[in-house]
Amino acid sequence: MDVYLQGFLMGLAYVAPIGVQNLFVINSAISQKRGRALLIALIVIFFDITLAFACFFGIGLLIDKLEWLKLIILLIGSLIVIYIGQGLIRSKSSFKETDTNISLAKVITTACVVTWFNPQAIIDGTMMLGAFRVNLVASDATYFILGVVSASFAWFTGVTLFVSFFRDKFNDKVLRVINIVCGAIIIFYGIKLLLSFYTMLKG
């Protein structure tokens, strides 16, 4: 139980910081109906869990051994993150179109991109989860990763429900401002990743 709790707390520390995933989930909870927002959260959770498993069970070994792979992840990921941010700034979402402004295919694609094409998520996940995996015996590893999975589910569904219940406080103008602010944060985040790529390339 202690190992499970440790995994749960580590999972919260991994997903809680405001990043591209969280901004996507928050924006969806504001602009979509509650049922749709929860579906989006579950899709994000699926990709988050698959990434956590990959980081925990070995993607870190590849990144540590292959410097060029880390560079490729940083470059492509930073450009995709910037693209998502500028798309959010340019979007004109309205509460009147909550059921039609995003298709399920686009939800799945975006959820995949903000998770698997997020260099910081991959690197942080590798450093945090991969490091714990090295120090755990095989029998404890299962309980630890279950704790991480539980944290992902609890966090994203919790955020979605909290924002969704208070969405009546928002209107189209507020949604537009939130889109711009979130988009700007995401672009800043992407530029920061791009600078990390440049620094690594020079080093």
Rounded CA separation 46/61 (Å): 23
Instruction: Identify the pLDDT of residue 200.
Output: 79
In a domain, 27, yes or no: no
152 neighbors 164 (Cβ within 8 angstroms): no
Domain count along the chain: 1
Rounded CA separation 82/139 (Å): 41
For every one of its 203 residues, what pLDDT tens digit does the chain have, with 9 covering 90 and above?
788 998 898 788 778 765 678 888 888 888 788 888 999 999 999 999 999 888 887 765 566 677 787 778 778 767 877 877 787 788 765 555 444 456 788 889 988 888 888 776 777 677 667 666 666 777 788 898 999 999 999 999 999 999 888 877 766 777 677 778 777 877 887 788 788 788 878 86
Rounded CA separation 12/121 (Å): 13
Q: Where are the alpha helices (DSSP H) in 55-118?
A: 60-65, 67-90, 104-116
In a domain, 154, yes or no: yes
Rounded CA separation 43/17 (Å): 19
In a domain, 135, yes or no: yes
In a domain, 23, yes or no: no
Residues of the chain by 3-state class (helix, strand, coil), percent to 5 = 85, 0, 15
The CA-atom distances, in angstroms, between 105 and each of 29, 96, 194 are 18, 21, 28
Rounded CA separation 162/180 (Å): 21
Instruction: Identify the pLDDT of residue 60.
Output: 56
Nearest to 20 by CA among 12, 9, 28, 32: 28
Q: Which residues contact 151 (CB under 8 A, 6 or more apart)?
A: 7, 8, 9, 10, 11, 12, 14, 15
Instruction: Identify the pLDDT of residue 170.
Output: 67
Instruction: Identify the pLDDT of residue 17.
Output: 61
Which residue range(s) make up the domain with 47? 2-10+32-202
In a domain, 15, yes or no: no
In a domain, 122, yes or no: yes
